[in-house]
Amino acid sequence: MEKVKLTIDDKQIEVEKGTTIYKAAKQLGIDIPVLCYMNLDDLGIENKPGGCRICVVEVEGRKNLAPSCSTEATEGMVIHTHTMRVINARRTVLEFILSDHPKDCLTCAKSGNCELQDLAIKLGIREIPGQEYAEMSEYKVDFSPSLIRDLDKCIMCRRCEMMCNEFQTVGAISAFNRGFKAAVGPAFEMDIEHSPCTYCGQCVAVCPTGALTEKDHTRDVINALADPSKTVVVQTAPAIRAALGEEFGLEPGTRVTGEMVSALRRLGFDYVFDTDFAADLTIMEEGTELLDRLTKHLNGDKDVKLPILTSCCPAWVSFFEHNFPEMKDIPSSARSPQQMFGSIAKTYFADKIEVKREDLVVVSIMPCLAKKYEAQRDEFKVDGNPDVDFSISTRELAHLIKEANLDLKTLPKEEFDNPLGESTGAGVIFGATGGVIEAATRTAYELHTGKKIENIDFKQLRGLEGIRKATVDFDGTPINIGIAHGLGNARKLLEDIEAGKSEFHAIEIMACPGGCIGGGGQPSHHGDSSILKARMKAIYEEDADKTIRKSHENPYIIKLYEEFLGKPMSEKAHHLLHTCYFDKRSKVEIS
Amino acid sequence: MTKYKMYLLVCGGTGCRASASDSIVENLKQELENKGLSDEVQVIMTGCFGFCEKGPIVKVSPDNTFYTEVKPEDCAEIVEEHIIKGRKVERLLYEDPEKKEHISDSKHMDFYKKQIRIALRNCGFIDPENLDEYIARDGYEALGKCLTEMTPADVINEIKESGLRGRGGGGFPTGLKWEIASKNDADQKYVVCNADEGDPGAFMDRSILEGDPHAVLEAMAICGYSMGATKGLIYIRAEYPLAIKRLKIAIDQAREYGLLGKNIFGSDFEFDVELRYGAGAFVCGEETALIHSMEGLRGEPTIKPPYPAEKGYLGKPTNVNNVETFANVSVIINKGANWFNKIGTEKSKGTKVFALAGKINNVGLIEVPMGTTLREVIFEIGGGIKDGKKFKAVQTGGPSGGCLTERHLDTPIDFDNLLAAGSMMGSGGMIVLDEDNCMVATAKFYLDFTVDESCGKCAPCRIGNKRLYELLDRITKGKGTMEDLQRLRNMSQVIKDTSLCGLGQTSPNPVLSTLDNFWDEYVAHVKEHKCPAGQCKDLMKYVIIEENCVGCTACARVCPVGAISGEKKQPHYIDPSICIKCGACIERCKFDAIIVK
Amino acid sequence: MAKIKTLADLKKMREDLQSKVDLREKADSPESYVQIKVGMATSGIASGAKEVMDFLIEALEKRNIEAVISQTGDMGYCFAEPTIEVQKPGEEPIVFGYVDIKKADEIIEKYIKRGELVDGIIPQNYQVIDDKDNKKA
């Protein structure tokens, strides 16, 4: 690899050709302040439009200042990163940005966690000259089921646009208007609800300011908890336990399952259950469905639809409803674990504790923003009463716990309640990309071959590459499995299916990078993908520590079928645990 | 072919057409037919003659009579008197303002004497909708010479030798640009002609495209040959429908004749041209924004490097040149680099087309050799300041340029001299300002434009320019402070230093150059709340002169806000706190009793 | 229209089309051609100046003499109409009177081609706006 030598702040360094000044400086330990720049190396995402001009540096021989995030280091370059000229420029530019930004930090959802706020502190901004008469660009605030868009706070960093268009290939938002009134949003400035947005929340995950935030449901949860007439039940997704600790200062990847249960109990939830239980349930249903289709296919049935696609990710469901509606009958008809849980909780469990449906409130803790949208989908309601009343994110839960003055770190480890709290290792790994299909494989293998698996860890299904392929040997029958995370990768696999070129029998798709652990509702990783890796490690460790690691061996699952559902894909199971999909291709109406 | 004895050349540029020059063509043709002269006299609609102040222009050839301010009703007289009876229509001849004489041949007019028309050689001469006329004037010979006698390297050398520099504003050596593009290999390369011409008041490129479209097509093909490109794209602003129409006709005709397409002149070379329309964005004149606009993306500039020569349209090597740059190419090939580089100054060869506008007598389009002084342009060619007012400044380079003053008048115009003087050549806009122009208001005018046109990608331009504008606005309203003047300077420097593209990097130029050259005016606005030039309305007071006022109450009746009070037959009074300075009262007063001070 | 397949085709086409623009070309820089101005005032027209002009145009083209022929106003010599003014490149202009077709032919053959003065020259005794110096007979 060709190398170039250059000097930064009187220090010499040799880097590979093509390295930017910013990265070269980082190698030398020189930290240049940035704002719009974001690098998610392992996912192949780098956002460097060179728009904020905060990272500018002085380059000898160049007339103006250069943006270090997007200027290539060349042989012999002499760079100064913190001269007075640069500092003056950075401050003045930040003053410009702040002059067009609302000053409501006190009530802003991102206060304390805002990159613009951090930068203002770092550069020591004390006043913004001319603010008294400065015009500000104003927009209507847009409330959708999952996220809130407050474009007054948009600083045009284009991270959300990049995630939505290039990584997720959803294309719901892009820059609109010119000049001072420019911001990023859906076409024709329509509400995001009417756009092809899948609510994957990746835009929220990367937004440096409070322009994109999640819809807050903590108020609703507090109301429910404070209402003595309600029985409030909570379910927690697998990805929460691997990331919640970060909000309390713990190292990324610290497992806080027991403490989390403890905190939830102290918050006042009547029953603390585990979504992982419902994940096991999902495997029962989906695994059976997979085997059903597979057997037909292996017996020569040409009409059966393969590959089967997982359907537990609502952003992914929304994606194919918008983009590939003709293929609505290919994904599994099984509902997501969140929804299966809600459905069972308000029937099986409500009967057990003799509480009326209307008096039972089901809250879910999810790493996801799309779950908020999923919970209010009409098909998941019975006579207007939703199966899942409120879905709150990991971040919102952390707020609640802090509000209740609980220190997560020092809480005792407690166990989930039963009968909806017991889960196997297969349920836990739902949180990572590859986990759902691995869980399904563990069950499907044993059900199909009738044999016990020797090696339960299907390591070939794990990892962070965007698209992964593996073949699992079902006792002589090779089953081809595909895995994609990130909707851009999902699109590629779907296009293959559309063209009839797909080689897979089963495909798992997660909308978020890394799977649910990288969800839009998780603690912000601000572009550090080592955090995603650490969370992933925690998930697989939790699985390895479990005694029961196959869904069909979960005793409470077995009991649920015996007592209530009958068998997988029974009529009752169909009614409560399965669903269908809709053609949601966007039609733009210009009135 | 009919052998015509006489020609009536009617200017068909947009300016004259707005004054019904197409009706003049119709009427002339009709009159000639009525008199049975259609076989002897031909009426041709040509491109722009440049003397827009005196349009519509009709030139009679071969006696070179230059008629000005012609109306459609004059056609009968022209035919009857001049064509048939041989008598010139005196009242339509140009009158020299100083000598008070009629001048019939344009060669003797001060406006034309010092002009050398190279880029505009065919404008006003040929019918731009007729390829035959272009060919009759050596059209496509240069392309033929390149394809049959020269190698691509020869062509590049010739352009390099000529010293031609980009006419769009950048002034980058054209030959060097072609050379860099030729060295980058790819399966497809592109030649792009930048016809976006966004500077307010600039119409050099428009006139060339309307008056001589083939000059650009031929040059693009020559460029394609030299760098290995087979496709040409002309990005033209949608606000130029006539130029678009003429280009379409020209492209169709060239294809028909085999001058565009495959195997041109029997060689292996193929080249074709496509039109792409802009959609009203000044920023799309910046080459990377232009390219992205053509790719169907948002018209925003991206960081250079990589330069378009390396990675341009669709990621392929692309050469982008301005219309006027291209207009010079075939002449250089035909007459040789050494003919061209004898014209101009040491570092700026050839001529430059300028759009002369503002407070000047001869408003229009001129082409002068580099090295002509500003004084010559303004006072000789331009005919001096209108209404005998005093010259104050000349703004060159549009919203990216600066103001040059009295002490710069003897500067020979070229790329480097104008830069050194604190302005720039830009694309050729030249706006003359007189004693009644306020320099603060002028800076504000340009910022208003750039604020509107900023793409919004980078913070310093998107927000910084807006803040500059707000400050200037306050100063013109008497709300500025001395500290604000300091801030103006700092903000301008930072915006220049940090903006992503040329728009932001040059938008503070009008502010900086007026601060430098007209500091006193700024201070007057701030400290005395006065506008010395009398332009900033908010600082002016409308006052009734008691001695002149007869108390007719006419002004009070016409005032829309009821600011004027007074008894009948008594001197009236305007309340400055209510007055909105609309000027209705001044227009109404028959006794010159109201003044603005 | 025929397609242009080679550079030779283009050059031939240009030659054929030259006539379309050459009058305008010459008019722009007439000093290198023979300039003939034919008086076309009322008296001129009445005495047949138009026919003389048509003849001159045709004859000069046939005899391959590069010339710019234009009509002009009253030259003032009403008694000697039709009058024509002939200026050879680099020489003083000379006015001829009583020019009919026969005389015009003579002027072409003798004066224009061979420089021999012909009868009927009218001395000029006034200055035209475009003239720089007095003309003497």
Search chain C and give the residue with CA nearest B135. Answer: C14
Search chain B and give the residue with CA nearest C30. Answer: B62
Q: What is the mean pLDDT of chain A?
A: 91
Please name the residues in contact with B187: beta carbons below 8 A apart, sequence gap of 6 or more.
Answer: B316
Name the phi and psi angles at A120, rounded to 5: -60, -40
Q: Do B61 and C72 touch (CB under 8 A)?
A: no
Search chain A and give the residue with CA nearest B480. Answer: A130
Q: Which chains touch A (3 or more CB pairs under 8 A)?
A: B
Q: Which of B114, B99, B51 is nearest to B381 (CA)?
A: B114
Give contacts of B498 with chain A, Cβ < 8 Å.
53, 56, 64-65, 89, 93
pLDDT tens digit sequence for B181-209: 999 999 999 999 999 999 988 999 999 99
Q: Do C27 and B62 touch (CB under 8 A)?
A: yes
**pLDDT value for C36:** 87
Distance CA A244, CA A231 (A): 25
Q: Does C52 touch chain B (CB under 8 A)?
A: no
Contact C56, C101 (CB under 8 A): no
Name which of A93, A129, A179 is nearest B455 (Cβ-Cβ): A179
Q: Hey, what's the torsion of the CAs at B218, B220, B222, B223, to 10 degrees?
A: 170
Q: Which of A32, A65, A69, A93 to mutate to test the interface with B (most CBs of B within 10 A)?
A: A93
Angle among Cα A180, A181, A184 to the nearest 5 degrees reads 120
Name the phi and psi angles at A449, rounded to 5: -85, -20
Q: Do B140 and C10 touch (CB under 8 A)?
A: yes
Q: Do B256 and C1 touch (CB under 8 A)?
A: yes
Counting every residue, how long is chain A? 591
Please name the residues in contact with B38: beta carbons below 8 A apart, sequence gap of 6 or more.
Answer: B29, B32
B270 pLDDT more than 70: yes
Distance CA A447, CA A287 (A): 9
More confident residue, B1 or A579: A579
Q: Which chains touch C (3 or more CB pairs under 8 A)?
A: B
Q: Could you tell me what percent of chain A has a pLDDT over 90? A: 71
Q: Which of B438, B440, B461 is nearest to B515 (CA)?
A: B440
Name which of C18, C26, C41 is nearest B85 (Cβ-Cβ): C41
Give contacts of B300 with chain A, Cβ < 8 Å.
175
Q: Do C7 and B61 touch (CB under 8 A)?
A: no
Distance CA A487, CA A166 (A): 9
**pLDDT value for C116:** 82
**pLDDT value for B1:** 46
B2 pLDDT more than 70: no
pLDDT tens digit sequence for A55-73: 999 999 999 999 999 999 9
Q: Which residue reads 């603005």 in tokens?
A: B596
Please name the residues in contact with B15: beta carbons below 8 A apart, sequence gap of 6 or more.
Answer: B48, B52, B55, B203
ipTM above 0.85, yes or no: yes
- Structural domains for chain A: 3-122 (3.10.20.740), 216-583 (3.40.50.1780)
What three-state secondary structure class fits A46? strand
Q: Report the 10 Å Cβ neighbour count for A591.
A: 2
pLDDT tens digit sequence for B354-399: 999 999 999 999 999 999 999 999 999 999 999 999 999 999 999 9
Please name the residues in contact with A318: beta carbons below 8 A apart, sequence gap of 6 or more.
Answer: A197, A198, A199, A370, A373, A584
* C-alpha atoms less than 13 angstroms from C-alpha of B572 in its C-beta half-sphere: 29
Q: Do B456 and A72 touch (CB under 8 A)?
A: no
Q: Hey, what's the torsion of the CAs at A241, A242, A244, A245, to 10 degrees?
A: 110
Q: Are strands B6-11 and B41-46 parallel, antiparallel or unpaired?
A: parallel
**pLDDT value for A295:** 86
What three-state secondary structure class fits B58? strand
Q: Do B61 and C27 touch (CB under 8 A)?
A: yes
Q: Do C14 and B141 touch (CB under 8 A)?
A: yes
Distance CA B585, CA B542 (A): 9
Mind telling me the catalytic residues of A? Answer: 286, 289, 312, 332, 371, 374, 379, 516
Search chain C and give the residue with CA nearest B260. Answer: C4
Residues 67-86 of chain C with CB under 8 A from chain B are 68-74
pLDDT tens digit sequence for B332-358: 999 999 999 999 999 999 999 999 999
- In this prediction, residue A588 has a pLDDT band, given cuts at 50, 70 and 90, of low
B86 pLDDT more than 80: no
pTM: 0.88
Contact A255, A296 (CB under 8 A): no
**pLDDT value for C2:** 53
Q: Are strands A385-386 and C34-39 parallel, antiparallel or unpaired?
A: unpaired
DSSP A171-184: ---EEES-GGG-EE
Q: Which helix (H) or strand (E) holds B33?
A: helix B21-34
Measure the N-to-C terminal CA separation of chain B; round to a whole number of Å: 67
Write the CA distances from C128 to A402, A446, A458, B101, B506, integer angstroms. 103, 115, 106, 13, 53
Strand (E) positions, A237-346? Answer: 271-274, 308-309
Name which of B132, B144, B258 is nearest C17 (Cβ-Cβ): B132
pLDDT tens digit sequence for A18-42: 999 999 999 999 999 999 999 887 7
Distance CA B19, CA B33 (A): 23
**pLDDT value for C127:** 56
Contact A32, A57 (CB under 8 A): yes
- In this prediction, residue C129 has a pLDDT band, given cuts at 50, 70 and 90, of low
B-C Cβ pairs (cutoff 8 Å, strict): 115
Q: Which residue reads 């300002």 in tokens?
A: B433
Q: Does C128 touch chain B (CB under 8 A)?
A: no
